[in-house]
Amino acid sequence: MGKIAQRFHTSFGAEDFALMRKSIGNWRASAVLVVFAACLLFAAPSTTQVSPADPQRYLNDVKTLTQPKMEGRGDGSKGLTRAEHILLHRYKSLGLEPAGKSGYLQPFVVTTGAKLKGKNHFIVQGSEVKKELKLDLDYVPLSFSNSGAVASGIAFAGYGATAEEFGYDDYAGLDVKDKIVVVLRYEPSDFAAKSGNQGLTRHSQLVTKAINARNHGAKGLILVNGKLGEGEEDLLTKFGSVSGPENVGILFAQAKNTAADEWFRAAGKSQKDIQDQINSTTKPASFAFPDAVQANLAIDIETTRATVNNVLAYLPGKTD
């Protein structure tokens, strides 16, 4: 490795490396490894003298790895496989020895996404009416939701935040064990000021809300947009568009305000008024919906995975 590192630094200057970083940008980690490995090969192995770096050879490699048929070299894509083959053939042409688990290749499995399958439903039973919400129209699961089903009562937990640093807890005095919890998007309006930052804090993040609900014993979590700005629409988040862990450990979906408004009316309350109250007083206004309001939520998600490869080779040393 010492010989390879020495050869790399000798033949690949600081300006070349800066250009490589600028060209790479925010590519996936696996893609960065591929490009970096290719850069190590720009200088052919030699036991005598290292030739100066050839800018055109560098640019040709960049163009090869960024052409449209490489598809961005995303995990599981044909483009990434094409890049593997390019590296493999380059290693062979340079006489480097294979160092992978299977020749030059070292396979490993990555998570590439998720998709809905099977039966997904969300039914809310009130004192007088039973309503089944329509998937993608009235509600949508989050891609990092747990799979399973829960039938239980519902509780409202404000913004779903437990923020000890601000002396605020939406779950204080609220029993949500085995229940489905309804929470508002974002966070109380004064959190940013208290934190000294102009932006939102971690308590606004969907994964944080999900983990907090799960840690308080809830089995399901329903997110609603709540109060909308002027000209803003009550839109559902597209499935798979929000990043998160593979499984956050709780059933998690988003519902339209219009659906949630009916639950609040059954409790003699207004969703908008309660949100305004929380923001104006900086105090939680959590409550349990009447026992007559019951929900049945089922989510079935299949995680999609792909096997990708590191492409590994080495140049043996010549001395002990």
Q: Residue 77 has what pLDDT?
A: 81
Q: Locate tokens 């999609």: which residue?
A: 304
Q: According to the model, what pLDDT value does residue 126 have?
A: 80
Model confidence pLDDT, tens digit, residues 182-192 = 999 999 988 88
Domains in the chain, start-ordered, CATH in brackets?
2-111+306-314 (no CATH), 119-299 (3.50.30.30)
pLDDT over 80 at 27, yes or no: no
Question: How are beta strands 220-224 and 139-141 bridged, if at all?
Answer: unpaired
Per-residue confidence band for 256, with pLDDT thresholds at 50, 70 and 90: very high
Write the CB contacts of 273 (distance below 8 Å, at least 6 apart in sequence): none
pLDDT of 75-124, one tens digit each?
A: 778 888 899 999 999 999 999 999 999 899 999 988 888 889 888 999 99
| b/e burial code for range 38-61 (CB count within 10 A of at least 16 → b) | bbbbbbeeeeeeeeeeeeeebeeb
Question: Is a pLDDT exceeding 90 seen at residue 287?
Answer: yes
pTM over the 0.85 mark? no
The whole-angstrom separation of Cα 211 and Cα 128 is 33
What pLDDT was estimated at residue 51? 65
